Amino acid sequence: MKIVKRLDIKGYAKLDFRLKNNNYYLIEVNSQVSFHPLGEFITCCKKDGYSFEKTINCIVDKALENSSKLNSIGIGVF
């Protein structure tokens, strides 16, 4: 959640990271996640108890709530 908040990620995304010696290392952020019902993103959602329909509805609801970002990469300009 710290990474999501720092990058001002709105909506859905897949974050790949590694855990080593109790430290998290971000590998990549992928905002072009597949919505295929058997794809990795939806499979992970189902594992956490979210149906395909509930996942899609949640993404749409969040998109409507958060329609703007700080700037193109989501980090405030200093």
**Domain segments of the chain: what residues?**
2-65
Tell me the per-residue pLDDT of 20-73, one tens digit each, with 9 for 90 and over. 999 989 999 887 777 888 888 888 889 999 999 998 888 888 777 766 655 555
Place of tokens 């996640």: 33
Give the CATH H-level superfamily of domain 2-65.
Answer: ATP-grasp fold, B domain (3.30.470.20)
Tell me the per-residue pLDDT of 5-27, one tens digit each, with 9 for 90 and over. 888 887 678 888 899 999 989 99
pLDDT of residue 68: 60
